[in-house]
Amino acid sequence: MRILVTGGAGYIGSHVVKLLGEQGHEIVVFDNLSTGHAWAVLHGKLIAGDLADKPLLDLVIREFRPDTVLHFAASIKVEESVREPLVYFYNNVVNTMNLLDSMVKHGVKNLIYSSTAAVYGIPDRMPVDESAPLCPINPYGSSKVMGEAIMRDLAVSSDFKFVALRYFNVAGADPDGQLGQVYRDATHLIARSIKTATGEYPYLTIFGDNYPTPDGTCIRDYIHVSDLASAHLSALEYLRADGESKVFNCGYGYGFSVRDVVETVKTVSGVDFKVKMADRRAGDPPALIADSSKLRSLTGWTPRYGDLSYIVNSALEWELLLKRKLAA
Ligand SMILES: NC(=O)c1ccc[n+]([C@@H]2O[C@H](COP(=O)([O-])OP(=O)(O)OC[C@H]3O[C@@H](n4cnc5c(N)ncnc54)[C@H](O)[C@@H]3O)[C@@H](O)[C@H]2O)c1
Ligand SMILES: O=c1ccn([C@@H]2O[C@H](COP(=O)(O)OP(=O)(O)O[C@H]3O[C@H](CO)[C@@H](O)[C@H](O)[C@H]3O)[C@@H](O)[C@H]2O)c(=O)[nH]1
């Protein structure tokens, strides 16, 4: 298949491009490299462009004529979205409209969309399934709810079809050591804890220990990035087999508190790093755990890397590899 991957130079997109390339698909990555890296595109052709550049996007879609688009490109930080909501609505909503507009214009019918657990806000029931109300509590989550809503309406009015994958907390790195998370300033819990264990930060801050959870810190369902990548291949197969437009949660169905994660990073790394308590971070729900039974039953998705120590260890190995490369 011919597959256009927006944001394919980023953390999750690059892992998916790796799997798609290994399966022999023809790939074009469209990425403005704002947080992504050209070296992370292991297969296909990289076009360095911004989704806000409609003429360029149009040209790429017209010439490449993809069978399917995988849309990862977005701004992704919950806390930043609270401070800069317009940045999030422009990049995640307006630019998604640019993409959809161009797809419609050139008759491209299938899209796999990177949605998020943040669409649920603070769910009543846990694990949360896809039928739960969408009540985001931060602009990032709202922007993804809007993206899904636009796709749903488009699918009603035309033969456009989509799968929205609602990712829970993505972590870890490629088991082959070729890819992983690389950000100038890591904000995600596992990445930040690992960088603290390896000496990049003097201590880790825990944001809030007065949540209504057993140890008072937030609980998340951490999914290994390679399991999430394989969920995209399952979704692609599902659409190819003429499946209807659907929304699927992507997680394991169990969660860990911030304290659990910190203890696991300490054990796996062997470093007893310093931890400081701080106030709650804006926009954080107390707990998010996925019910992904729909994804498993309708697509046959079978995750392989659901052990937290394995996830942390893969992220740690990647971080140590990066440090060795930088030092060389
Ligand atoms: N990381 C997570 O835990 C998580 C959880 C839920 C959902 N998601 C979603 O997954 C997707 C990928 O996230 P990620 O963690 O890989 O982030 P990332 O920042 O590593 O990847 C995003 C990629 O999109 C590119 N990009 C951003 N804006 C662009 C634009 N306007 N035009 C072209 N390229 C642009 C960036 O350069 C980057 O390569 C996002 O849509 C995000 O909302 C991530
Ligand atoms: O230094 C840190 C970093 C994080 N946390 C806490 O750890 C938890 C997880 O935070 P983080 O790793 O930043 O992820 P989330 O804010 O849960 O968001 C991620 O997971 C969401 C899905 O659940 C996605 O939508 C987002 O894109 C993605 O950034 C939260 O309670 C944070 O307050 C800390 O206590 N200290």
Average pLDDT per run of 10 along the chain, which is 328 residues long?
98 98 98 97 98 98 98 95 97 98 98 97 95 96 98 97 98 97 89 96 98 98 98 97 97 98 98 98 92 98 98 97 86
Q: For residue 74, give the ligand nearest its CA.
A: 1
User: pTM for the complete prediction?
Assistant: 0.97
* pLDDT given at position 183: 80
140 in catalytic set:
yes
Check residue 325 and give its pLDDT: 85
Query: What pLDDT shows up at residue 165?
Result: 98
Number of neighbouring beta carbons within 10 Å of residue 49:
18
Cα 325 → chain centroid: 26
pLDDT at position 41 is 98
Atom of ligand 2 nearest to the CA of 169: 20
Q: What is the ipTM of this complex?
A: 0.97
The alpha carbon of 50 and the centre of ligand 1 are apart by a number of angstroms equal to: 13
Q: Give the model confidence (pLDDT) of 210-268 as tens digits.
A: 999 999 999 999 999 999 999 999 999 999 999 999 999 999 999 999 999 999 999 99
Which ligand number lies closest to the CA of residue 143? 1
Per-residue buried b or exposed e for 58-74, using 16+ beta carbons within 10 Å of the residue's own CB = eebbeebebbbbbbbbb
Q: How many CB atoms lie within 10 A of CB 289?
A: 22
pLDDT at residue number 132: 98
Closest CA to ligand 2's atom 2: 189
**Probe residue for ligand 1, chosen from 56, 72, 318 as the CB with the greatest number of ligand atoms within 8 Å:** 72
Residue 10 alpha carbon to ligand 1 centre in Å: 6
Domains along the chain with CATH numbers: 2-171+222-250 (3.40.50.720), 189-220+253-327 (3.90.25.10)
Q: Which atom of ligand 1 is nearest to the CA of 188?
A: 3
What's the chain look like in SS3? CEEEEECCCCHHHHHHHHHHHHCCCEEEEEECCCCCCHHHCCCCEEEECCCCCHHHHHHHHHHHCCCEEEECCCCCCHHHHHHCHHHHHHHHHHHHHHHHHHHHHCCCCEEEEEEEHHHHCCCCCCCECCCCCCCCCCHHHHHHHHHHHHHHHHHHHCCCEEEEEEECEEECCCCCCCCCCCCCCCCCHHHHHHHHHCCCCCEEEEECCCCCCCCCCCEECEEEHHHHHHHHHHHHHHHHCCCCCEEEEECCCCCEEHHHHHHHHHHHHCCCCEEEEECCCCCCCCEECECCHHHHHHHCCCCCCCCHHHHHHHHHHHHHHHHHHHHC
Q: Which among 140, 211, 238, 305 is annotated as catalytic?
A: 140
The pLDDT assigned to 326 comes to 80
The residue assigned the tokens 């107390």 is: 286
What ligand is nearest to the CA atom of residue 172?
Answer: 1
CA–CA gap between residue 20 and residue 229 (Å, rounded) = 9
**Closest CA to ligand 2's atom 25:** 116
Which numbered atom of ligand 2 lies nearest the CA of 167?
22
Counting from 1 in the atom list of ligand 1, the atom nearest the Cα of 34 is 37
Give the residues surrounding ligand 2 with Cβ less than 6 Å away: 76-78, 116-118, 168-169, 187-189, 192, 204-207, 218, 220, 258, 281, 284, 288
φ, ψ for residue 72, nearest 5 deg: -100, -25
95-105 and 54-64 helices, crossing angle to 10°: 40
Q: What is the pLDDT of residue 234?
A: 98
